Amino acid sequence: MVISDRLSAGFHNLLRKAGTQVKIEYYNQVFDNVYDDQVTLILSGTLWTSGIILPINKRQGSTDSVLVEQGKLQDKDKRLYVTGSTDMTGEELSIKIQIGSPTGDVYSTIPLGAIQYETLGTDIYKRQYIRYLQTGSL
């Protein structure tokens, strides 16, 4: 068995044991021709998958704590780990993530981008920072 297959199988095993149901909604941004700053979001797709949600690492010197010091992350932000094939690309405010059942907490992606982890050209998993949406809408 190739190392990338073993790593991928190991991550899927983690998802099976510690994963939570995650709903990812993708939105297209449509700009109004009359007003430059008016943007309309149109739902373009939905994906139900499994993911692992962890709080950010506040240990001094960690990547997460450095991003907090730089003002790019907030203390209550979280890390979401999903399979490497999950699409997490898009503009700011164009991906909404719901954790758990249809009444679960709603998050948006933070525009730091998803960090892809791969081995031998095979996508193993992605890490995406997410922020809680108070109102539940983008």
- pLDDT by residue (tens digit) across 101-131? 777 889 998 887 778 888 888 888 999 999 9
- Tell me how far apart the alpha carbons of residues 96 and 92 are, in angstroms, rounded to a whole number: 10
Choosing among 2.60.40.2480, 2.60.120.260, 3.40.50.720, 2.40.10.270, the CATH entry for 3-132 is 2.40.10.270
With 0-12 CB in 10 A as exposed, 13-18 as middle and 19+ as buried, what is 121? exposed
- pLDDT number for residue 116: 85
Phi, psi for residue 47 in degrees, rounded to 5 = -135, 125
Give the chain's length: 138
- pLDDT number for residue 42: 84
- Tell me how far apart the alpha carbons of residues 40 and 43 are, in angstroms, rounded to a whole number: 10
Lowest mean pLDDT among 8-17, 71-80, 94-103: 94-103
| Average pLDDT for the chain | 85
